[in-house]
Chain A
Amino acid sequence: MSNRYVVKKIVGALLTLFAVVIFNFFLFRIVDRDPLTKYRGRSKLSLEQRETMIRRMGLSGSKWDQFVAYIKSTLQLDFGRSFDSTRPVLREITDRLPATLILVGVSTVLTICIGLYIGAKAGWARGSRFDRVSTSTTMVLYATPEFFFGMLLLAIVAGRTGWFPTGGLRDVGTNNGFVASLLDRTHHLVLPSLTLTLGYLGSYSLIMRTSMLDTLGEDYLTTARAKGLKESDVMTHHAVPNALLPSVSAIAISFGFVIGGAITTETVFSYPGLGLATADAIRNTDLPMLQALFLVASAAVIFFNLVADLTYGLLDPRIRHSI
């Protein structure tokens, strides 16, 4: 992989991130002329407090002054204070980030592994019983809003049997040792991550299946068979690697959907991560929080896309050896 490819991809990612920052300014400062009107406690503010708030939110001066101030504070990761809790937005976000990282991380790994496996197997044996059963199942999974899965799991597994906790990050008051606490947290993680995995399994496996179908007629498979390779070797060593390539970028784009899914999943299970923070911010019209949460979500997806592009460069010899 040439340096030029890497630099080009990194610059592209940074430009997209910058576009998000500009978009944020446009939306929250120009489309919405006076964000303070959405502040619930505004009627109780004295004139002085109002002035302070306007200054603190960078709402004073011309639009250009505001823009400069906005870029400056964004670069310093200063997103103002939450309308709701009045704590700095950055603190709110860093406090809740780990929970979401674990949830989204576990679910993404599970979704990719299971989804790719099912998709590859179904595509390889097109029309077989496995293909028909798995494709219709994944179609139904794909059509189901992930929060509905969450509600069903909550009703069946948590509500009726009590095998799993109905929400939260951990049990309150159980603080006996590292192992116990780890087990407790894992116990709380099972249903939310299962929900998110079920919710996005469908799209990943459909992507992989289509990609697999595209490789079926390729000459190199005929060549591999002509060499006398076993059918299973043709699949794992020749078809799957080539089918994986186009799925890499499609999967990176789908990651944006998983981020969205985390918002509703965390809401169903009252799982205190960034998703629940987003849902709370919507109900409280907490503009500073929403603005920052949108930036964080976009940054995550842009980063994931960059990783996918670079992986693609590593995996695909045509890019690895070019230029």
Chain B
Amino acid sequence: MNDLVPSTSPRDMTWARRKQALARVWRELRHDRAGFVSLVVLLGFGLVALSAPLIADRSLLLAAAGRNNPDLASPSAQFLLGTDDIGRDVLAQLVWGSRVSLFIGIFATVVAVVIGSVVGLVAGYVKGKVATVLLAIDEFFLVVPFLPLAIVLAVILGRSPVTLAIVIGITSWAGSARLVRAQVLTLSERAYVERARALGAGTWQIIFRHVLPGVTPLIIANATLIVPGAILTESTLSFLGFGDRLSPSWGKLLDGAQSSGSITLNAWWYYLPPGLCIIAVVLAFTLFGRALERIFDPRLAGR
């Protein structure tokens, strides 16, 4: 490519436009206090999750690791957040738990967003029987209480973190399918979609090349709002007995704290930190998602 002549191919123009849009989002986010602070909090948690092996050795999670330590010891210089009921370091579990909780939360969201977007796009663009069936399935997943549904799915499909993430994804896509569909319905009436159709574009090409880019901001904002729900669901399922005690998520830590009687024993270092971490991350994701929503949809500003 010649460096001296500014490139003007459609592809480059599109990318230039997208870069501009991204810069605008970043500018507005910097001025949105709640959104910016929550982004910083999330990056902090992300950093801790990524550097878990540097902070605490993984072997500290093993049941044998606590053999020589006092059980339910209060915080000290050696154990900054005390020990659990089998003598394991709580801080190590908390740090490694951030990995499990964030991984399941984000992976579940990816599953939900993919299902929700595909169903929403297809149900919105293709009309007729296919749309009716998809909407009926969507309605089913909206009405059926999601926690009992997640429970029966997890019992049958398995209890590993990946399965849990898939199960949570399966139970939380219905709302976003609705949103995407509504947006697609308005977009597909727009002139540029009509133009593409007149030029002979096929259904899938229109959906993915012309309609999808239009709904992407909405999908991103919506995804950010699914993550907190997924993290809460994960903590609930773990609290109820799913998940792995040797690689505990924050919810699993709360389960351990509850079943070991740490509450009546006043072992606050065992149950407070994981609960507060869940609240912080869920709150940060919610505020960040709402900030994105405000930026992408100016009608919501001031709410």
- Chain A residues proximal to chain B, CB less than 8 Å: 16, 19-20, 23-24, 27-28, 31-32, 126-127, 139-140, 142-145, 147-148, 151-152, 154-155, 159-160, 166, 210, 213, 253, 256-257, 259-260, 263-264, 267-268, 278-279, 282-283, 285, 287, 290-291, 293-294, 297-298, 300-302, 305
In angstroms, Cα B235 to Cα A144, docked, is: 11
- The one of A127, A145, A268 in contact with B275, judged by C-beta atoms closer than 8 angstroms, is A145
Instruction: Check if A259 sits within 8 Å of B263, measured CB to CB.
Output: no
Over the window 267-303 of chain B, the binary record of Cβ atoms lying under 8 Å from chain A Cβ atoms (1 yes, 0 no) is 0100100010011001100110000000000000011
In angstroms, Cα B149 to Cα A278, docked, is: 12
Knowing A151-B257, A287-B155, the reply to whether A139 touches B148 (Cβ < 8 A) is no
In angstroms, Cα B241 to Cα A23, docked, is: 24
Query: 8 closest pairs, A vs B, by CB?
Result: A260-B147, A256-B145, A143-B282, A143-B283, A148-B275, A297-B148, A32-B156, A294-B148
Instruction: Check if B264 sits within 8 Å of A147, measured CB to CB.
Output: no
Instruction: Check if B145 sits within 8 Å of A298, measured CB to CB.
Output: yes
Knowing A259-B145, A302-B143, A305-B143, the reply to whether A143 touches B286 (Cβ < 8 A) is yes
In angstroms, Cα B140 to Cα A260, docked, is: 17
Knowing A154-B263, A155-B266, A279-B240, the reply to whether A145 touches B232 (Cβ < 8 A) is yes
Knowing A139-B283, A285-B155, the reply to whether A278 touches B263 (Cβ < 8 A) is no
Instruction: Check if A16 sits within 8 Å of B148, measured CB to CB.
Output: no
- The one of B146, B228, B258 in contact with A260, judged by C-beta atoms closer than 8 angstroms, is B146
Instruction: Check if B146 sits within 8 Å of A151, measured CB to CB.
Output: no
Residue of A nearest to B242 (CB): A282
Residue B199 lies at the interface, judged by CB distance under 8 Å to chain A: no
Instruction: Check if B156 sits within 8 Å of A31, measured CB to CB.
Output: yes
- Chain B residues proximal to chain A, CB less than 8 Å: 139-140, 142-149, 151-153, 155-157, 228, 232, 235-236, 239-242, 251, 254, 257-258, 263-264, 266, 268, 271, 275, 278-279, 282-283, 286-287, 302-303
Instruction: Check if A294 sits within 8 Å of B152, measured CB to CB.
Output: yes
Knowing A139-B286, A159-B263, A294-B149, the reply to whether A264 touches B157 (Cβ < 8 A) is no
Instruction: Looking at the assembled complex, report how far the CB atom of A215 sits from the nearest CB atom of chain B, in whole angstroms.
Output: 13
Residues on A with beta carbons closer than 8 Å to the beta carbon of B263: 151, 154-155, 159
Instruction: Looking at the assembled complex, report how far the CB atom of B272 sits from the nearest CB atom of chain A, in whole angstroms.
Output: 8
Residues on B with beta carbons closer than 8 Å to the beta carbon of A302: 143
Instruction: Looking at the assembled complex, report how far the CB atom of B167 sits from the nearest CB atom of chain A, in whole angstroms.
Output: 11
Residues on B with beta carbons closer than 8 Å to the beta carbon of A305: 143
Residues on B with beta carbons closer than 8 Å to the beta carbon of A32: 156
In angstroms, Cα B172 to Cα A55, docked, is: 36
Residues on A with beta carbons closer than 8 Å to the beta carbon of B303: 126, 210, 213
Residue of B nearest to A154 (CB): B263
Pairs A–B under 8 Å by Cβ, sample size 15: A16-B140, A28-B152, A31-B156, A145-B235, A145-B275, A151-B271, A154-B264, A159-B266, A213-B303, A256-B145, A259-B147, A260-B147, A287-B155, A294-B149, A298-B149
Instruction: Check if A16 sits within 8 Å of B139, measured CB to CB.
Output: yes
Residues on B with beta carbons closer than 8 Å to the beta carbon of A28: 152, 156
Residue of A nearest to B290 (CB): A139
Instruction: Check if A147 sits within 8 Å of B148, measured CB to CB.
Output: no
In angstroms, Cα B235 to Cα A160, docked, is: 26
Instruction: Looking at the assembled complex, report how far the CB atom of A279 sits from the nearest CB atom of chain B, in whole angstroms.
Output: 5
Instruction: Check if A140 sits within 8 Å of B279, measured CB to CB.
Output: yes
Residues on B with beta carbons closer than 8 Å to the beta carbon of A256: 143-147
Instruction: Check if A145 sits within 8 Å of B236, measured CB to CB.
Output: yes
- The one of A145, A294, A298 in contact with B251, judged by C-beta atoms closer than 8 angstroms, is A145
Instruction: Check if A282 sits within 8 Å of B151, measured CB to CB.
Output: yes
In angstroms, Cα B155 to Cα A291, docked, is: 10
Residue of A nearest to B287 (CB): A139
New A-B pairs, 7, CB < 8 Å, besides A19-B140, A159-B264, A290-B151: A32-B156, A147-B254, A148-B254, A151-B263, A260-B236, A267-B239, A278-B148
In angstroms, Cα B15 to Cα A294, docked, is: 49
Instruction: Looking at the assembled complex, report how far the CB atom of B100 sits from the nearest CB atom of chain A, in whole angstroms.
Output: 15
Knowing A139-B287, A143-B286, the reply to whether A263 touches B242 (Cβ < 8 A) is no
Instruction: Looking at the assembled complex, report how far the CB atom of B85 sits from the nearest CB atom of chain A, in whole angstroms.
Output: 15
In angstroms, Cα B232 to Cα A235, docked, is: 35
Residue of A nearest to B144 (CB): A298
Instruction: Check if A143 sits within 8 Å of B155, measured CB to CB.
Output: no
Instruction: Check if B278 sits within 8 Å of A20, measured CB to CB.
Output: no
Instruction: Check if B239 sits within 8 Å of A147, measured CB to CB.
Output: yes
In angstroms, Cα B278 to Cα A279, docked, is: 21
